[in-house]
Amino acid sequence: MVNAKNLQTYESRGIVQYYAQLQELQAAEAAILAQLNPQLPTMSMLDMGVGGGRTTLHFAKQVANYIGIDYSANMIQACQQRFADAMAPDAFTVCDARDMSCFADNTFDFILFSFNGIDYIEHCDRIQVLQEIQRVGKPGGYFCFSTHNLQGMEQLFDWRSHLSYNPIRTYIDLFMWAFLRGFNRSCSLKQLHSSVYAMIRDEPHNFRLRTYHIRPQAQLEQLASGFTDIKVYSWQDGTEINPSELPSIVEMWLYYLCVIQ
């Protein structure tokens, strides 16, 4: 079942306009683009959760075939308008990631689900999305996505992490902490300590979105049945993270690059 409030947010005019003006890749995306660059000219790419076409700017011209999908019809319309002079309208299509039956098995060499798009559905739907990605992806192809790190949110939930020697900074941080806790009254710090994933209303878009957060080790386990050669990257600087460091990583989200089985 689609989270109606999340979809409503992504259909709203202001949010669509915000995503339609974004242009830059995040550091991890740029690192992964550079890594795959020699292979991209022969690849068929599926850009999931394409939003307003931020990643289209960088990937569409590099690959042999490009398709962008989003479950927001308004986002797809924005992409079609943004790239009207460069790409055919059917390069973008409305599609729910949980049911990509419009695509045959083993269609894509490279699948990208950026900007934490996979995080705005419930846990059972997330598993279904991963199964669909494995189905439409070619064995030996690549899947790349970003997702929120529960360890980072766990730190934000602790009011003590917002204290500093700067009183103004402390005031602002504690003010935002109060909003965070207020929008998540049913979720306690103790519960987060004992969870491997959680749905949380976080700050982006004024706490309008229910967002999936998962511990990195749990994410690796979630991928294990359909993907291999999994690498984890810092979204902040694009460096690859050693698996032994994952339990202590508190970046708010991470990028994963893996090979489809």
Whole-number Å distance between alpha carbons of 28 and 237 = 7
Q: What is the mean pLDDT of residues 5-26?
A: 94
pLDDT at 1 over 90: no
- The answer for 188, left when phi > 0, alpha when psi is -120 to 50, beta otherwise, is beta
**pLDDT on residue 203:** 86
Digit-coded pLDDT (tens) for 43-61: 999 999 999 999 999 999 9
pLDDT at 2 over 80: no
Is 156 found in the same domain as 143?
A: no
Q: What is the number of structural domains in the chain?
A: 2
Is 245 found in the same domain as 195?
A: no
Digit-coded pLDDT (tens) for 90-105: 999 999 999 999 999 9
Digit-coded pLDDT (tens) for 211-238: 999 999 999 999 999 999 999 999 999 9
Is 225 found in the same domain as 195?
A: no
Is 186 found in the same domain as 200?
A: yes
Is 231 found in the same domain as 121?
A: yes
Is 105 found in the same domain as 50?
A: yes
Q: Which helix (H) or strand (E) holds 206?
A: helix 204-207
Is 170 found in the same domain as 66?
A: no
165, 189, 207 — which closes off a domain?
207
Is 192 found in the same domain as 93?
A: no
Query: Domain residues for 157?
Result: 152-207
Torsion sign, CA atoms 120, 121, 126, 132: negative
Residue 65 burial by CB count (10 A; 0-12/13-18/19+): exposed, middle or buried?
A: middle
Q: Which residues pair with 66 in a beta bridge?
A: 45
**pLDDT on residue 210:** 94
Is 156 found in the same domain as 133?
A: no
Q: What is the mean pLDDT of residues 9-18?
A: 94
Digit-coded pLDDT (tens) for 180-205: 999 999 999 999 999 999 999 998 88
**pLDDT on residue 156:** 94
Whether 120 and 230 have beta carbons less than 8 Å apart is answered as no
Whether 102 and 119 have beta carbons less than 8 Å apart is answered as no
- Domain containing 8 — which CATH number? 3.40.50.150
Largest Cα–Cα distance in the chain?
57
pLDDT at 34 over 80: yes
In one-letter notation, the amino acid at residue 30 is A
Strands 240-241 vs 65-70: parallel, antiparallel or unpaired? unpaired
Predicted TM-score (pTM) of the model is 0.95
pLDDT at 244 over 90: yes
